[in-house]
Amino acid sequence: MDLDLTEEQEMLRTMARDFLTKECPKTLVRELEEDEKGYSPELWRKMAELGWMGLVLPEEHGGMDMGFMDLIILLQEMGRNIVPGPFFCSVVLGSLPILSAGTEEQKKRFLPEIASGEMILTMALYEPNARYDASGVETKAVAQDNNFVINGTKLFVENAHIADYMICVTRTQEGASPEEGISLFLVDSKSPGIKCQVIPTMADDKLCEVVLENVSVPKENMLGELDKGWRIVTRALEHAIMAKCAEMVGGSEAVLDMTLDYVKERVQYGKPIGSFQVIQHYCANMWTNVATSRNLLYKVAWDLGEGLPVAKEIAMAKGWINQAYKFVTERAIQCHGAIGLTRDHDVGLYYRRAKAAELAFGDTDFQKELVAQQMGL
Amino acid sequence: MDFGFTEQEEAGRQEIREFLRQELGTVRTWTTPGEAISKDFTRKLAEKGWLGVGWPTEYGGLGRPYTEQLIYSEETMYYGAPSGSHILAQNMVGPTLIRVGSEEQKREYLPRILRGEITFCLGYTEPNAGSDLANCQTTAVPEGDDFIINGQKMFTSFAGQADYAWMTVRTDPNAPKKHRGISMFIVDMKTPGITVRPLETMWDYSLYEVFFENVRVPKNAVVGELNQGWHYLTVALDHERVFMGGVVAQHRRFFGELVEYAKNTYRNGKPLSKDPIVRQRLAQLATDLEIGRLFAYRVAWILGKEVIPFAEASMTKIFTSELEQRLANTAMQILGLYGPLGRGSRAPFDGYAGWEYKFSLMQAVGGGSNEIERILIAIAGLGLPRP
Ligand SMILES: Cc1cc2nc3c(=O)[nH]c(=O)nc-3n(C[C@H](O)[C@H](O)[C@H](O)COP(=O)(O)OP(=O)(O)OC[C@H]3O[C@@H](n4cnc5c(N)ncnc54)[C@H](O)[C@@H]3O)c2cc1C
């Protein structure tokens, strides 16, 4: 057993932290909340130059051939800085499924461009029924000559408004179970018949509604096998959930640090408020939440990287980290008092994102149900 | 003992309910009580005499018990009536003036409050005086027949609209104990030397910073006696907490809508209301709302006996603020992926749940943080030693 980061991982972390502190200050985060695109092309380009978009992709596809754990460490730093933009959807939701399920052709076509940051991907999975599971997929794709024709509405699609392609999850057949009959397509987001609209959200994270009306996609853009796409989604979600957890842990670390600084410095009744027992207990509980979350994150991400069975562990991790991040941000605001409630204070940026992250890919109730199922209950 | 409402009380409730329905319609709007400001609406309430339901008749009130006044505020809260123009004057400034103000001040302010003509903001908090209000550093120094005020207030609700500030100032810098050197002033916000700057909150409403630079006010700006401000502050704050406890009614309405939503929204092939977790949460909230409401009546009852319910007011404030956070959380949970969607999208309740999720943080901080309230309950209510 070795629970430490490798030297390279430590370096990656330090480099990422220094870079993001400098290049992604909170002023930029706020600016981009209001911005229509929601990301900074300049920051995007610099991140691409550092090789981040291709961190885990093989060298032959323009990547750096690093492991999933390295990506987790990078995402933790991105979560710490709440970096706005399409990194998560392009790299985690876009490139990983292509890497694991794409044809050689598709890998050649998409991965180098994703790695270089020239192409942005996203995944169109959820729909207005707001279900997390396979039965939520109602958007239909029907074969027609050499194409498939897609009809339906996707909701909560991250950054679809700036994505070049989206992996669209569709139903191609009514199977015996909801998981059967699902197929994935790489859809050019400029295809005729696509209407995309950004939805105002609490985290200003540029979720979109995407309406697909008779959108024609060439057969060769199918990702994986016909009707067997849910397996790819499941695998993509496993990675996405751990990636989201990494962002959340990073965010909770930042909030804890911010709070500790504040309670040491803010004086009331002639003493730093951090000397009051109730504030000490809050901080102790916050730290415990952060420390346990981080440990669980690393363990399950490691399992996943090693190819071990993880269904139960991932559900546990997301369920736990959901609550931890929410708890930490909420207590942090309470420790700050009124100043923490102002729009100009950073802690609120995290509070809003914590809730959005909690509901992404399944809230705690949903995850606990999965744990129960995995326990054979 | 009688927990029932009298015929008169029931009739009063029906009357104001009918009035509110006509004025505001049956669709709940986004404005939360206390935040929305409408002088017009305040005047209409005033014309009916409803701003002074619990005030003594000698000061122009209806002389009804506080419990009856609570009925009126419950209804206005429930309907989300715009109350920003009167809540502070009606619930804090007025009742405190009645207890401690000079005859001249009572004559000057009380009738105009009851007519809905004047509005107040509360200037207690400063950069270095948050929980520790006795650390007030805004000074008022006598000069001839006047006082000259210098300093800064912070997080002042309604300062941008108010006609007067009801505020603490330091009048005796040499007092042996800090809270003995504080006075309460009523200051006309149009006095030269006052600047107001908005301070935006996470939920898109403004609080304000108020700066005082050589602001000259007459001697009669002093409420009651000089250097007795701390006592008046505790009375006013107590009234504020009683009021904050009364907001339960506002949550009852959103809760009702949430229950309807759960009944009518299908997920995983069945109504959300059949999901055991959702049922547990809603049942818990129903219980909480009932407890919160009943306790608000208890506090009003105590207040009616001319006893200041220090500990109980804190309890009701803590309970309600935490209930509001649970309500917001449950709403987000029930809405799932729709929860974080904002206004003008496909979000249920036009994004109110997500907004409430941010707003609900406020009651646990404003009006005395819940930590300080708990300390007050322990000391004032239970007689435990000071830390
Ligand atoms: C929406 C809103 C509206 C407001 N409106 C007004 C208004 O109209 N007028 C006005 O004057 N003020 C107003 N306030 C300010 C409010 O009264 C203060 O925020 C509150 O008193 C807490 O002070 P603070 O924010 O400076 O926090 P601090 O006092 O700095 O407290 C920070 C944290 O430390 C804790 N703490 C402090 N002292 C102790 C202690 N001794 N023991 C244990 N814990 C402690 C607090 O509980 C809190 O968790 C408003 C605030 C809000 C949020």
| Domain CATH number, residue A312 | 1.20.140.10
Split at pLDDT 50, 70, 90, the class of B246 is low
Q: Is residue A162 part of a domain?
A: yes
A273 lines ligand 1 (CB under 6 A): yes
User: What pLDDT is recorded for position B237?
Assistant: 81
Contact residues on chain A for B318, CB-CB shorter than 8 A: none
B160 lines ligand 1 (CB under 6 A): no
Q: How far is B202 from chain A (nearest CA, A)?
A: 5
A255/A322 same-domain check: yes
Mutate to test the pocket of ligand 1, among B32, B124, B135, B155 (most ligand atoms within 8 A of CB): B155
| Residues near A127 by beta carbon (within 8 Å), at least 6 away in sequence | A136, A137, A138, A139, A152, A153, A154, A155
Q: Is B108 designated active site?
A: no
What is the rounded end-to-end Cα distance, in angstroms, of chain A?
A: 32
Instruction: Point out the residue among B135, B202, B344 whose CB comes nearest to the CB of A200.
Output: B344
Tell me the helix, strand and coil percentages in chain A, rounded to 5. Answer: 55, 15, 30
A342 and B199: CB-CB below 8 Å? yes
Nearest to A50 by CA among A94, A4, A14, A81: A14
Q: Is residue A193 part of a domain?
A: yes
Q: Residue A2, Cβ neighbours under 10 Å: how many?
A: 5
A335/A283 same-domain check: yes
Question: What is the b/e burial string over B336-358, where b = at least 16 CB atoms within 10 angstroms of the residue's CB?
Answer: bbbbbbbeebebbbbbbbbbbbb
DSSP designation for B92: I
Q: How far is B37 from chain A (nearest CA, A)?
A: 20
Higher pLDDT, residue B251 or B25:
B251
Q: pLDDT per residue over B267-310, tens digit each?
A: 878 999 999 999 999 999 999 999 999 999 998 888 888 788 88
Decide which of A193, A227, A261 is a domain's last residue.
A227
User: What pLDDT is recorded for position B48?
Assistant: 93
User: What pLDDT is recorded for position B346?
Assistant: 84
A253/A363 same-domain check: yes
Higher pLDDT, residue A139 or B31:
A139
User: What pLDDT is recorded for position A147?
Assistant: 97
Question: 0.80 exceeded by the pTM?
Answer: yes
- Which chain A residue has its CA at the smallest distance from B335's CA? A130
Q: Residue A1, Cβ neighbours under 10 Å: how many?
A: 2
Q: What is the dihedral of CA A222, A104, A235, A20, to 10 degrees?
A: -110
CA distances from B229 to B234, B236, B377 (A): 9, 10, 22
Strand A271-272 relative to strand A121-124, pairing: unpaired
A70/A158 same-domain check: no
A267 lines ligand 1 (CB under 6 A): no
Contact between residue A250 and residue A79 where contact means Cβ atoms under 8 Å apart? yes
Decide which of A78, A102, A119 is a domain's last residue.
A119
- Which chain A residue has its CA at the smallest distance from B369's CA? A337
B333 and A365: CB-CB below 8 Å? yes
- Domain residues for the domain of A57 are 7-119
A238/A369 same-domain check: yes
Q: Is residue A220 part of a domain?
A: yes
Q: How far is A1 from chain B (nearest CA, A)?
A: 39
Mean pLDDT computed over B44-67: 92
A338 lines ligand 1 (CB under 6 A): yes
A245/A330 same-domain check: yes
A263 token code pair: 């309670």
Decide which of A119, A152, A167 is a domain's last residue.
A119
Residues of chain A falling short of pLDDT 70 = none
Instruction: Point out the residue among B155, B336, B374 whose CB comes nearest to the CB of A338.
Output: B155
Residue B231: pLDDT above 90? yes
Split at pLDDT 50, 70, 90, the class of B26 is confident
| Residues near A261 by beta carbon (within 8 Å), at least 6 away in sequence | none
Mean pLDDT computed over B32-44: 77
B321 lines ligand 1 (CB under 6 A): no
B337 and A155: CB-CB below 8 Å? yes
| Residues near B356 by beta carbon (within 8 Å), at least 6 away in sequence | B254, B324, B327, B328, B331
Q: Pick from A341, A346, A370 the residue to mutate for testing the B interface (most B CBs within 10 Å).
A: A341
A54/A88 same-domain check: yes
User: What pLDDT is recorded for position A13?
Assistant: 98
User: What pLDDT is recorded for position B269?
Assistant: 81
Handedness of CA A327, A330, A333, A337 (dihedral sign): negative
Identify the structural domains of chain B with CATH numbers, from first to last. 7-118 (1.10.540.10), 121-227 (2.40.110.10), 231-381 (1.20.140.10)
How far, in Å, is the centroid of ligand 1 from the Cα of B320? 17
B274 token code pair: 């059949």
CATH of the domain at A79: 1.10.540.10
A343 and B202: CB-CB below 8 Å? yes
Split at pLDDT 50, 70, 90, the class of B28 is low
Q: Pick from B275, B322, B337, B357 the residue to mutate for testing the A interface (most A CBs within 10 Å).
A: B337
Split at pLDDT 50, 70, 90, the class of B24 is confident
A251 token code pair: 């965010």
Phi, psi of A338 (to 5 degrees): -60, -30
Contact residues on chain B for A343, CB-CB shorter than 8 A: 200-202, 204
Contact residues on chain B for A271, CB-CB shorter than 8 A: none
- Which chain B residue has its CA at the smallest distance from A156's CA? B337
Residue B34 Rama label (left phi>0; alpha psi -120 to 50; beta)? left
| Residues near B55 by beta carbon (within 8 Å), at least 6 away in sequence | B61, B62, B63, B94, B95, B98, B110, B114
A95/A133 same-domain check: no
Percent of chain B surpassing pLDDT 70: 96
pLDDT, chain B, mean: 92
Instruction: Point out the residue among B201, B340, B342 whose CB comes nearest to the CB of A359.
Output: B340
Contact between residue A55 and residue A87 where contact means Cβ atoms under 8 Å apart? no
User: What pLDDT is recorded for position B25?
Assistant: 82
A330 lines ligand 1 (CB under 6 A): no
A294/A172 same-domain check: no
B361 lines ligand 1 (CB under 6 A): no
A77/A200 same-domain check: no
User: What pLDDT is recorded for position B31?
Assistant: 60
User: What pLDDT is recorded for position B345?
Assistant: 79
| Residues near B281 by beta carbon (within 8 Å), at least 6 away in sequence | B330, B333, B334
**Length of chain B in terms of residues written:** 387
Q: Is residue A1 part of a domain?
A: no
A357/A242 same-domain check: yes
CA distances from B236 to A214, B122, B154, B311 (A): 65, 10, 18, 14
Contact residues on chain B for A209, CB-CB shorter than 8 A: 346
CATH of the domain at A187: 2.40.110.10
A36 token code pair: 């229509």
Residue B54: pLDDT above 90? no
Number of domains in chain A: 3
Contact between residue A274 and residue A286 where contact means Cβ atoms under 8 Å apart? no
A72/A114 same-domain check: yes
Split at pLDDT 50, 70, 90, the class of B199 is very high
β-strand partners of B212: B151, B194
- Which chain B residue has its CA at the smallest distance from A271's CA? B132
Strand A182-188 relative to strand A165-171, pairing: antiparallel
